[in-house]
Amino acid sequence: MEVNIKYRKDNGDKLPDPTLYRQLVESLLYLTMTRPDISHAVQVVSQFVADPRRIHLSAVLRIMRYLWFTYYIGLLFSSNSSRQLRAYADADWARCPDTRRSTTGWCIFLGDSLISWKCKKQQTAFKSSTETKYRGISSACSEITWLRGFLQDLNILHRTPTPLYVDNMSVIRIASNPVFHDHTKHIEVDCHFICDKFLAGEVTLPYVTSQQQLADIFTKAMTHARHDYLVDKLMMFTQPQFEG
Tens digits of per-residue pLDDT, 29-43? Answer: 999 999 999 999 999
pLDDT digits (tens, 9 = 90+) for 152-178: 999 887 789 999 999 888 878 877 765
Residue 186's pLDDT is 53
- pLDDT of residue 244 exceeding 70: no
Q: Could you write out the three-class secondary structure of the chain?
A: CCCCCCCCCCCCCECCCCHHHHHHHHHHHHHCCCCHHHHHHHHHHHHHCCCCEHHHHHHHHHHHHHHHHCCCEEECCCCCCCCCEEEEEEEECCCCCCCCCCEEEEEEEECCEEEEEEEEECCCCCCCHHHHHHHHHHHHHHHHHHHHHHHHHCCCCCCCCEEEEECCHHHHHHHHCHHHHHHCHHHHHHHHHHHHHHHCCCEECCECCHHHCHHHHHCCCCCHHHHHHHHHHCCEEECHHHCC
Instruction: Report which of residues 106 and 126 the model is more confident about.
Output: 106
The CATH number given to 85-216 is 3.30.420.10
The pLDDT tens digits for 5-27 are 888 888 889 999 999 999 999 99
Domain boundaries, the chain: 7-71, 85-216
pLDDT digits (tens, 9 = 90+) for 113-134: 999 999 988 877 666 677 788 8
